[in-house]
Amino acid sequence: MIGKLKGLIDSYGEDFVILDVNGVGYVVQCSARTLQKLPRPGEASALAIETQVREDSIRLFGFESENERDWFRLLQNVQGVGAKVALAILSILPPGELAAAIATQDKAMVARAPGVGPKLAARIVAELKDKAPAFGAVDPLVARLSGDMEAENAPSAVRDAISALVNLGYGRPQAAAAVAASVKKLGEGAETGALIRQGLKELAA
């Protein structure tokens, strides 16, 4: 399975990019938000990849971060949500805003995505709140901030704490939410160890 691709942008399509990796062009489908953030053709880029293998095809989906990829996977656990709908949701809502919508049970926010009606939106926010319990324990502001916890300019202690919680078996969205709540309580200068300990308390709450 392919988990990451790093190469040069070859060209763009309506909902995909062709990434040239050592002379091999990979067709990678992306959300609209991800496509907008990628550089011009000829420039270097790296994408977190989700590989889906079917009897008649192999499809690659690319994401700006592992956090976005994990939300793509999580969304498809909901009945009625396939890859196309999951990408549509992530095109409208970045991970932090999606987390906030689930934390506040904001069905209308999720229903903004093409192909998502009121009933499906209600199912998404209800089912994912059960599967991402950490969001139920943090306020909407923290849930929204959790989507930014893995940004390149985030403190290394924050990224290391998230990785540690993921290594302990927690999903990345839950880990990011827990660390976001920890940063709010302990302050932006908190060290990795303190963030991990507080994060575990948040997850156990």
Using one digit for the tens of pLDDT, what is the confidence trace for 144-201?
555 555 555 667 888 899 889 888 887 777 787 788 888 888 988 899 999 999 989 8
Domain ranges of the chain: 4-63, 66-138, 144-204
Which architecture, in CATH terms, is 66-138? Orthogonal Bundle (1.10)
Supply the pLDDT for residue 39.
95
- Distances 57 to 35, 54, 60, 123, 173 between C-alpha atoms, Å: 22, 5, 10, 29, 29
Quick check: do 4-63 and 66-138 share a fold? no
Owner of token pair 């939300």: 71
The per-residue pLDDT for range 149-163, each reduced to its tens digit, is 555 566 788 889 988
How does pLDDT run across 98-127, given as a tens digit for each residue?
A: 877 887 778 888 999 999 999 999 999 998
* CA angle in degrees (0–180, nearest 5) for 83-15-104: 50
Tokens of 128: 């994912």
Fold of 4-63: OB fold (Dihydrolipoamide Acetyltransferase, E2P) (2.40.50)
